[in-house]
Amino acid sequence: MPGVFDRTRKKALVRDISSNFNKALSTFFGEREPIVDIAKMQHKGYIDALQSCGVEVEILGELSGHPDCCFVEDTAIIFDDVAVICRPGHPSRANEVHTISERLKEDFEIKFLSPDAKMDGGDVVFTGNEFLIGRSTRTNDNGINELSEIASKYGYSTQVIDVPNSTLHLTTVCSVPRNGMLIVAEGHLKPEQISGFQDVIWIPNNETYASNTIALENGKILVSAGFPITKQKIEDAGFEPILVEMSEIMQADGSLTCCSLFIE
């Protein structure tokens, strides 16, 4: 039904880690090239974690020509029966969308953004009743306006948030543990940018990476391993954290949400 976003996250599309993952883009979290074999093991652990929470996972094959290909979140925005195919803001990622669009057209009406638009799916966060859209180095005003126009036709409002230079995407510093609630890393977004939210779990700046989470059914929530303060705060808020080892994927500025596109 238009305007009713199904947040139950029953099925995820993921893509295997590229054999050239060590060449993935990295500006924020990366301190060295990721080790491809360890990244592949961690990606398998990520898939296992989703499956252990009851999520069906469809795995697409790696693209050796696209080191960032596992970050499928950036390639499309999906709601209702529509898949909006993104225009990734970094040229090296632009062609990742073609195989995704071929797959998504089996299940969704496909909508494309104009060539003047730039948009990474990592700049789009659905809060339960609206889309927060980050204006960033990867997402421009044309992208924001075009996505807002499509979303409004389906009954969804949008709010634009300026993504600071301290981070890559909006999803890098912000996620939604349940409708209307945010987990946000201190030192990136200003409180006034999210003043419409009463329920915010602020996590310390030195655990920024852990602000990106995936909330699933029954209070379960995927959280990156190694961030004890965030884990405790999420537990204190009544959720059950499922820890996922992400250290190599982090080296390529990829977070938990980056590695999935939820299609059901």
User: Closest CB to ligand GLY among 34 and 177?
Assistant: 34
| Closest by CA position to 2, among listed 109, 110, 153 | 153
User: Closest CB to ligand GLY among 82 and 252?
Assistant: 252
User: Closest CB to ligand GLY among 185 and 258?
Assistant: 258
**H or E element at residue 229:** helix 228-236
Q: What DSSP line would sit under 36-75, residue for residue? A: HHHHHHHHHHHHHHHHHTT-EEEEEPP-TT-TTTT-GGGG
CB of residue 169 vs ligand GLY: minimum separation in angstroms? 8
Q: Do the beta carbons of residue 264 and residue 11 sit within 8 Å?
A: yes
Q: CA 1 to CA 21: how far, in whole Å?
A: 39
Told to judge if 53 belongs to the known catalytic residues of this protein, a careful annotator would answer no
CB of residue 122 vs ligand GLY: minimum separation in angstroms? 7
Q: CA 125 to CA 104: how far, in whole Å?
A: 20
Told to judge if 70 belongs to the known catalytic residues of this protein, a careful annotator would answer no
Catalytic residue among 86, 174, 258, 259: 258
Q: Which residues bind ligand GLY (CB under 6 A)?
A: 24-26, 68, 71, 90, 93, 168, 252-254
Catalytic residue among 69, 169, 174, 188: 169
Q: CA 185 to CA 204: how far, in whole Å?
A: 6
The DSSP output letter for 14 is E
Place of tokens 């979140």: 73
User: Closest CB to ligand GLY among 173 and 216?
Assistant: 173
CB of residue 50 vs ligand GLY: minimum separation in angstroms? 20
Q: Do the beta carbons of residue 147 and residue 84 sit within 8 Å?
A: yes
Report, as residue numbers or ranges, the catalytic residues: 169, 258
